[in-house]
Amino acid sequence: MSDSIQITDSAQDYLAELLAKQNVEGIAVRIFITQPGTPYAETCLAYCRPGEEEPSDQRLELEKIAVYLDSNSVPFLEEAVVDFNADRMGGQLTIKAPNAKMPKVNADSPLEDQVNYVLYSEINPGLAAHGGEVRLVQLTEEQVAVLSFGGGCQGCAAVDITLKDGVEKTLKERIPELSGIRDITDHSDTTNAYY
């Protein structure tokens, strides 16, 4: 089984049961991600009748079920876990795909991917509590990351402190090649600031 995705025994049991109810010989499960590598990525599970899979899909033969993985989604399914939690109401299938929104990066990845990865995985989750988010607008030739702050960060009095301390510190710690960051938003607009 590829190490990209883990389907727990309880999830396999549950899916095998659902597939059996479909009454289709050779039916499988197909897992794919819509808009992978973006903040809007959604991980989806669908029935896959014989012939409905894509030729490029990766087929996983699990103990109880067969699973097709959409080849474009595979890098984003790394460390994903499909689990089933039984409860009084029958239970719920959960899919956690930590890398769906941003593929795993390493030191050889383009600097831009590395910056985006740190923003999505470490910085934005913290800013989301304030309704804010940061995105990379461009990387200059001098390796300066030009960032745009959106949502509640815009016009927030503390944004300079947050920006200089938090974001820059985190980015430079993770990506030593960066020479610095700049901010393109205009903080004089305080229409929806969060204090």
Write down the pLDDT at residue 51.
95
Give the pLDDT of residue 195. 46
pLDDT digits (tens, 9 = 90+) for 133-186: 788 888 989 999 888 877 665 556 565 566 656 788 888 988 899 998 887 754
Per-residue confidence band for 2, with pLDDT thresholds at 50, 70 and 90? very low
Q: When comparing pLDDT for 106 and 21, which is higher?
A: 21
Per-residue model confidence (pLDDT) at position 58: 96
Q: What is the mean pLDDT of residues 76-100?
A: 88
Pairing of strands 80-85, 92-96: antiparallel
- The reported pTM is 0.57
Which one has a higher pLDDT value, 125 or 13? 13
Give the number of C-alpha atoms closer than 13 A to the C-alpha of residue 37, restricted to the C-beta side: 11
25 or 72: which leads in pLDDT? 25
| Strands, E assignment, the chain | 5-7, 28-34, 42-48, 58-61, 66-69, 80-85, 92-96, 132-139, 144-151, 180-183
- For 17-70, what is each residue's pLDDT tens digit? 999 999 999 999 999 998 888 777 889 999 999 999 999 999 999 999 999 999
Greater confidence (19 vs 101) lies with 19
* pLDDT for res 1: 41
CA 20 – CA 22 distance, rounded (Å): 5
More confident residue, 45 or 120: 45
39/167 Cα distance (integer angstroms) = 18
pLDDT given at position 151: 67
Place of tokens 């049991």: 13
- Which pLDDT band holds residue 102 (cuts at 50, 70, 90)? confident
